[in-house]
Amino acid sequence: MRLVNRLLGRRSDRAPYAIFGGIAADAYKTRSLRSRLMPVPIPKQLVLPLSQNLGVDAVAIVEAGDLVQKFQLLAEADEPGSVALHAPTSGLVSSISNATVADEFGSQRLCIHLQSDGEDRAIEIVPEADYRALDHLQLLERIERAGICGLGGAGFPSAQKLSLGMKSGIDLLIINAVECEPFISADEALIRERGASVVVGAEILKSACLASNCIIVLQEDRADAIEALKKALENSSIELMTLAAGYPVGGEKQIIQAVTGMEVPSHAYPASIGVLVFNAGTAYAVYKAIADGEPCVSRITTLTGAPLQTPKNFETLIGTSVSFLFDLCGIDTTRHTGTIVGGSLMGIQLLTLDVPVMKTSNCLIAMSAAEFPPDEPELACIRCGFCAEACPARLLPQQLYAFSRAHDHEQNLAHGLFDCIECGACAYVCPSHIPLVQYYRSSKAEIRAQQRRQLQSQHWQRQFQQHQYRIKKQQDEAPHQISGDAVGPVKDDEPAKKNRSREDGDKTEAAVFSRERAKREIAEAVARVRARKAGHIASPRTDAESDG
């Protein structure tokens, strides 16, 4: 149909394009959507990692022993990649120390430990009655101050994304509520119950990045959410688009392809083609930041999995521990075999339950042996090509796998290894149960290490060349002192030239001499450095003496 339209030179308005590849995985979403969105009681202890996206740490501006109130700023963002952090409730900062965070290695990161006093006293916040009264720079500044980062999972600071987009100009703002990964239903629950706020959030984002168009995208099987959105969108310029169910149609690059038919150039941001993509949860956080004046201290997190008696979506305070949430849902520990943060296809498996929910934690899955059977042994790749059919980047996973096994990184790069978005569609369909994504990750790490080594060796080579150059210069400037001793007496006229020709003529002699010379130079340099060091240490003292 679309082909016909294209041949006739027209395109039915807002019909989605097809993405490359993709899979149809069991969704497991209904169970967590049976109950309403629930607020979580305030836990006694909150652990707030200074980096909410496991990137750059924000700088803590409170100290252990401080009493803080809800919404109070705890850490400010001072570097690109970091986001501000606010107190989710009132209480006492018990310490600022390392704690385990939600990553697959169970690593320790610097966290603010907050002991809640249960009173939930908030600092005064200023709701904004009409966001239209603010210009886009003011909006941007407030979004930044509210500590909002991408709540869909990647956690890129939203204000930075907006200002990055503004530099190149934005035609289209996409609000991504596709949520194509199995098990996650946070965005669907949010839109179903607070669709109007999401729409306002989208409008704020639209005026913050000066986009000319905005579109909210959902999967077509989310009937309740679509209905809620349609109602909310009645008097809005924002459009609604539904996509056929499939994974990973909600990936940033894929949703852009589905909506616009354009592809984001390799190694470029979507802004480079005039598109920005924000998650629906982020739009809601923006709404709260502007309309209510509340910084980002909570998020909607799906709690699901067969071992949970009442799977549901919680409005969770950032910093709440995973085990606290599981206990709220009534977990059957005998069936619980592991925990995933994120979805079942791109999420990471936690090593311990004592980790806090972060701004990026959209879903927590309690695994059971029935839903997540133990990994079957890896068999040989038969090059069936199912992975290539599934790959949304149109890579050839079977070839990348062979190159990764052979550590043939030149071929890996030629076959686009770094265009892999690690969606896991290839490994999902692999009949030989090969953990393909793991191979690609380790190849990527190897290549990065190789490049680092190369840069380092280039650096040292440059240093060495500069060193050589300095010696040469020294020689040219003072031929008597150095080369004169080494090569023997030379006449005063044209000393450097003579010296050079002499060395060329008798290389072995020069080599012998130069080794001795080098030794002497090293000794001299060491002596110089010692003298300088002694001088340095000595100088303040003498200064002090002279002052006194």
Partner 1 sequence: MQTQPSAIGISSPMQHSQRSTGRLMLLVIAACIPGVATATWYFGFGVLINIMLAASMAIILEACALKLRGRDMRQHLSDNSALVTAVLFGIAIPPGASWWLVAMGIFFAIVIAKHIYGGLGQNLFNPAMCGYVLLLLSFPVEMTSWHIPNDALVDGSSFSAFSLAGLRQSLLLSMPVFGSAQMSSPDSIDGLAMATPLIEFKMAGTGALLAAWDAGVSLFSRDSGAAWELVNMGYLCGGLFLIYKRIISWHIPCAIIATVTMMSMLFYAPDSSAVYGTPYLHLFGSATMIGAFFIATDPVSAATTVRGKIYYGIIIGLAIYGIRVWGSYLDSIAFAVLLGNFCAPALDYLCRPRIYGHGKKSRSVPTTEVEP
Query: Of 18-37, which residues contact partner 1 (CB under 8 A)?
Result: 20, 23, 25-26
Cα 240 from Cα 140, distance rounded (Å): 25
Q: For residue 134, what are the contacts with CB-CB under 8 A and spacing of at least 6?
A: 128, 142, 290
The answer to whether 511 contacts partner 1 (rule: CB under 8 A) is no
180-199: which residues touch partner 1 (CB under 8 A)?
182
Provide, rounded to whole angstroms, the least separation between the CB of residue 371 and partner 1: 8
The answer to whether 488 contacts partner 1 (rule: CB under 8 A) is no
109-168: which residues touch partner 1 (CB under 8 A)?
none
Place of tokens 């909310």: 232
The answer to whether 545 contacts partner 1 (rule: CB under 8 A) is no
Q: Which stretch binds partner 1 (CB under 8 A): 15-23, 31-39, 188-196, 499-507?
A: 15-23
Spell 291-314 as b/e; 16+ CB within 10 A means b: beebbbbbbbbbbbbbbbeebbbb
**Candidate residues 41, 118, 127, 385; the one interacting with partner 1 per rule CB under 8 A:** 385
The answer to whether 268 contacts partner 1 (rule: CB under 8 A) is yes
User: Contacts with partner 1: how many residues (CB under 8 A)?
Assistant: 74
The answer to whether 393 contacts partner 1 (rule: CB under 8 A) is yes
Q: Where are the beta strands (DSSP E) in 53-166?
A: 59-60, 67-68, 73-76, 85-86, 91-100, 108-116
Cα 249 from Cα 255, distance rounded (Å): 6
The answer to whether 318 contacts partner 1 (rule: CB under 8 A) is no
The answer to whether 273 contacts partner 1 (rule: CB under 8 A) is yes
The answer to whether 424 contacts partner 1 (rule: CB under 8 A) is yes
- Name the residue nearer to partner 1 (CB basis): 317 or 437: 437
Instruction: Order across the sheet with 213-219: list the strands.
Output: 239-243, 213-219, 172-176, 275-279
Provide, rounded to whole angstroms, the least separation between the CB of residue 242 and partner 1: 20
Provide, rounded to whole angstroms, the least separation between the CB of residue 52 and partner 1: 20
**Candidate residues 13, 376, 545, 547; the one interacting with partner 1 per rule CB under 8 A:** 376
- Name the residue nearer to partner 1 (CB basis): 88 or 347: 347
Q: How many CA atoms lie within 13 A of 255 on its CB side?
A: 25
- Name the residue nearer to partner 1 (CB basis): 85 or 331: 331
The answer to whether 248 contacts partner 1 (rule: CB under 8 A) is no
Q: For residue 224, what are the contacts with CB-CB under 8 A and spacing of at least 6?
A: 33, 188, 192
Cα 390 from Cα 397, distance rounded (Å): 9
- Name the residue nearer to partner 1 (CB basis): 138 or 432: 432
The answer to whether 346 contacts partner 1 (rule: CB under 8 A) is yes
Provide, rounded to whole angstroms, the least separation between the CB of residue 544 and partner 1: 56
Q: Which stretch binds partner 1 (CB under 8 A): 138-146, 158-166, 392-400, 488-496?
A: 392-400
Both structure tokens of 242: 């539904």
Helix residue ranges per DSSP H, 298-424:
322-329, 386-390, 397-405, 409-414
Handedness of CA 262, 268, 271, 276 (dihedral sign): positive
The answer to whether 269 contacts partner 1 (rule: CB under 8 A) is no
C-alpha R_g of the chain: 31
Provide, rounded to whole angstroms, the least separation between the CB of residue 153 and partner 1: 12
The answer to whether 262 contacts partner 1 (rule: CB under 8 A) is yes
The answer to whether 249 contacts partner 1 (rule: CB under 8 A) is no
The answer to whether 484 contacts partner 1 (rule: CB under 8 A) is no
Stated as kind and residue range, the H or E segment containing 199 is: helix 186-208
- 49, 101 contact by CB (below 8 A): yes
Q: For residue 2, what are the contacts with CB-CB under 8 A and spacing of at least 6?
A: 11, 12, 15, 17
Provide, rounded to whole angstroms, the least separation between the CB of residue 398 and partner 1: 6
**Candidate residues 117, 120, 128, 263; the one interacting with partner 1 per rule CB under 8 A:** 263
Count other C-beta atoms under 10 Å from residue 477's C-beta.
10
The answer to whether 437 contacts partner 1 (rule: CB under 8 A) is yes
- Name the residue nearer to partner 1 (CB basis): 61 or 382: 382
Angle between helices 186-208 and 136-145 (to 10 degrees): 140
